[in-house]
Amino acid sequence: MGYHQELSINGFPWFNLTWGARTAGYYTGDKAFIPKTSFSSGDSLKFGRLTVNSLSILAGITLKFGKLDIGANTDIIGIAIGVKRNGLYSKNSFPQGTGSEYYNALIPSSPNFFNVLPLGMDKNSGQSEIFVRYWITNRIGVKAGYVHGRTTYKTDVKLDNNQNRFSTSYDMPYVSICFPLYN
């Protein structure tokens, strides 16, 4: 769910800067999270199920063509909360390194609480969105879009390569109804 404000620039009514707030939830089962250095290390943190809720401030742009809007936005700063879970720390090669004592063990983990620029900074939770919105009337619109998101869990201990953040990405198309709260 989201709320946004559009700020038009004098002389350019078709171009709007947007800001707003977004709430999101990520609920899944049986998911493997990887660290930033996963390409070379092959380690992962596996969970049986996850529940994460977030609140973030977003920024974006919207181009207006009559009743049609085309836009994009991304989270700038946000928080994520969820249930603390134990993740199974595993590696697809012979265990060695600073985290070797934790291999095949359950590691206490929780959602990374404070997140900044998740689209640009790896291992932060958040979402980015592109969309097309058609205004059927002045008060009702239909919006179709695509969300790219990332969820990050932080371990209580440092593991191989001094890593303590593991994440997974998700992509989701959607269709929604839009309406102004006031006009």
Query: Torsions phi, psi of 45, nearest 5?
Result: -120, 115
Query: What DSSP assignment string belongs to 117-159?
Result: -TTTSTT--EEEEEEEEEESSSS-EEEEEEEEEEEEEEESS--
Assess if residue 145 is contained within a domain: yes
Number of compact structural domains in the chain = 1
Task: Express each pLDDT in 92-117 by its tens digit.
Answer: 766 666 777 888 899 999 999 999 99
The verdict on residue 112 lying in a domain is yes
Instruction: Say what percent of the chain tops pLDDT 70.
Output: 93
Listed range (127-131, 144-148, 175-179) with the worst mean pLDDT: 175-179
CA dist 30 and 94 (Å) reads: 23
Whether residue 152 lies inside any domain: the answer is: yes
Q: What is the pLDDT of residues 130-151, one digit of tens each?
A: 999 999 998 899 999 999 999 9
Residue 183 lies in a domain: no
Predicted confidence at residue 152, as pLDDT, reads 94
Q: Is residue 47 part of a domain?
A: yes
Q: Report the Cα–Cα distance between both ends of the chain, in Å, rounded.
A: 19
* Structural domain boundaries, residue 75: 2-178
